[in-house]
Amino acid sequence: MSPAPPPYPEYSLALLGFGNVGQAFLELLLEKQVDLITDPGIGLRVVGIASGSHGRAVNLRGLSLREILKAYREGKSLDEFSTIPVADSQEFIQTCGADALVETTPVNYQDGEPALGYLRNAINAGMHAVTANKGPVVHGYQELTSLARKMGVSFFFESAVMDGAPVFSIARCGLPGAAIQGFSGVLNSTTNLVLTRMEAGETQAEAVAYAQSIGIAESDPSGDVDGWDAAVKVAALVTVLMDIPLGPDQVDRTGIRGLTPELIQDASRVGKRWKLVCAAERDPDSPGGVNATVQPQLTTPESNFYNISGTSSILEISSDVLGKLTLIEEDPSPRTTAYGLLADLINALKE
């Protein structure tokens, strides 16, 4: 005799990417399972998890999240939990046949692949698609949004900028009819941490090494130090919030590599601080109708950016009706990014 169905809708999930954020997402699911059943009244069953280096697990009846996390942290392959073998990520998506795909694979600044292809295939298969990946937002926002609308599913990406802070959902749900004129912010956690530690006396190399030691910076930090990560975030915000397609190569970009300890200390002596500022504003005289920049700027105590230290971030959005709206996120972590994914997932399943 088959077990009785649960008294609430249950949805199946597939996770593609299982690094720090993917693991934090699984931990958050374990923590919130009962709460989600109570409100908004949904059950979630993970039927597939694919990692870049530890194999893939597919079980359409549901995977044991605790066992998966324990095995992964012991260095074991996920393959031992799989009841259906899959050869690659695209086959993984098709085999899972889930209600939603949660994608957290590494970003590709240049063209958004292969994540863009993963999300496209998931949406074509009728899955909601949720990602923390900036690449597909920059290089495929209009395509994926249009495709999702056609397929009757959602494409959400809250965690692509400012981790789990509700940047895109505020614009999507909280500013109907408003025209966003521009924005500015401190959006790269690594460079902000580096500049904070340089102000305390470290060299840039020492500060970068510290950021790497705590898992904030990559082994090759050039994407952060040279402003590429910030430029991709600017491109994503312009593309989505201002409805102007923009690539990261169209952002006037200068990183922090040229900021020496002497420059940092000179600024500190006169009560100022260097920040890597991301900004964009509508400009009919600029190519594409927008002027977008990433550049180090001196800030004074009167600036909202001045006291944004360590890995914290800030975004100021200007619109035609509300003036300036400011969003601050303090000391983000993989858990906050995971929450952005979970919030997107809940909103997708409720729509």
Judge if 231 and 283 occupy the same domain.
yes
Q: State the average pLDDT for the chain.
A: 95
* 168, 158 contact by CB (below 8 A): yes
Model confidence over 102-119: pLDDT tens digits? 999 999 999 999 999 999
Judge if 77 and 93 occupy the same domain.
yes
Q: Residue 141 sits in which domain range? A: 10-164+335-350
User: In this predicted structure, what is the pLDDT of residue 144?
Assistant: 98
Which candidate, 92, 69, 70, places its Cα nearest to that of 82? 92
Model confidence over 120-168: pLDDT tens digits? 999 999 999 999 999 999 999 999 999 999 999 999 999 999 998 999 9
User: Residues near 18 by Cβ (< 8 Å), separated by ≥ 6?
Assistant: 49, 50, 51, 52, 54, 72, 78, 104
User: Residues near 206 by Cβ (< 8 Å), separated by ≥ 6?
Assistant: 197
Q: For the residues 303-326, what does the mean pLDDT come to?
A: 96
Judge if 218 and 247 occupy the same domain.
yes
pLDDT > 70 fraction of the chain, expressed in percent and rounded: 98
The pLDDT confidence band at residue 31, using thresholds 50, 70 and 90, is very high
How far is Cα 84 from Cα 122, in angstroms, rounded to an integer?
Answer: 18
The pLDDT confidence band at residue 219, using thresholds 50, 70 and 90, is confident
User: In this predicted structure, what is the pLDDT of residue 95?
Assistant: 97
Judge if 146 and 198 occupy the same domain.
no
Q: Is the pLDDT of residue 97 over 80?
A: yes
For the record, the structure tokens of 148 come out as 């999702």
Give the residues across from 65 on adjacent strands.
none
User: In this predicted structure, what is the pLDDT of residue 5?
Assistant: 62
User: In this predicted structure, what is the pLDDT of residue 6?
Assistant: 66
* 132, 104 contact by CB (below 8 A): yes
Judge if 213 and 132 occupy the same domain.
no
User: In this predicted structure, what is the pLDDT of residue 213?
Assistant: 94
In a domain, 135, yes or no: yes
Model confidence over 245-270: pLDDT tens digits? 999 999 999 999 999 999 999 999 99
In a domain, 4, yes or no: no
Judge if 327 and 345 occupy the same domain.
no
Judge if 103 and 193 occupy the same domain.
no
* 239, 281 contact by CB (below 8 A): no
In a domain, 53, yes or no: yes
The pLDDT confidence band at residue 351, using thresholds 50, 70 and 90, is confident
Q: How is the chain split among helix, strand and coil, in percent rounded to 5?
A: 45, 20, 35
Judge if 207 and 312 occupy the same domain.
yes
Model confidence over 57-92: pLDDT tens digits? 999 999 999 999 999 999 999 999 999 999 999 999
User: In this predicted structure, what is the pLDDT of residue 166?
Assistant: 95
The pLDDT confidence band at residue 228, using thresholds 50, 70 and 90, is very high
DSSP-derived letter for residue 287 is G
Judge if 144 and 110 occupy the same domain.
yes
Which candidate, 267, 339, 330, 327, places its Cα nearest to that of 297? 267
Q: How many Cβ atoms from other residues are within 10 Å of residue 73's Cβ?
A: 9
For the record, the structure tokens of 304 come out as 């909202």
CA atoms within 13 A on the CB side of 188: 32
Q: Please give the tally of structural domains in the chain.
A: 2
How far is Cα 49 from Cα 81, in angstroms, rounded to an integer?
Answer: 10
Which candidate, 310, 312, 299, 238, places its Cα nearest to that of 271? 299
List, as one string, the DSSP characters of 57-102: EE-TT---HHHHHHHHHTT--GGGG-SS--SSHHHHHHHH--SEEE
The pLDDT confidence band at residue 203, using thresholds 50, 70 and 90, is very high
| 16 backbone dihedrals φ, ψ, rounded to 5° | -115, 110
Strand order from edge to edge, sheet including 56-58: 56-58, 43-50, 10-16, 100-103, 128-131, 155-156
Judge if 66 and 207 occupy the same domain.
no
User: In this predicted structure, what is the pLDDT of residue 2?
Assistant: 56
What's the Cα-to-Cα distance from 200 to each of 193, 259, 308, 313, rounded to whole Å? Answer: 11, 14, 15, 19
Judge if 46 and 114 occupy the same domain.
yes
**The domain that contains 299 carries what CATH number?**
3.30.360.10
User: In this predicted structure, what is the pLDDT of residue 3?
Assistant: 58
* 97, 85 contact by CB (below 8 A): no
Q: Is the pLDDT of residue 320 over 90?
A: yes
In a domain, 171, yes or no: no
In a domain, 1, yes or no: no
Judge if 203 and 287 occupy the same domain.
yes
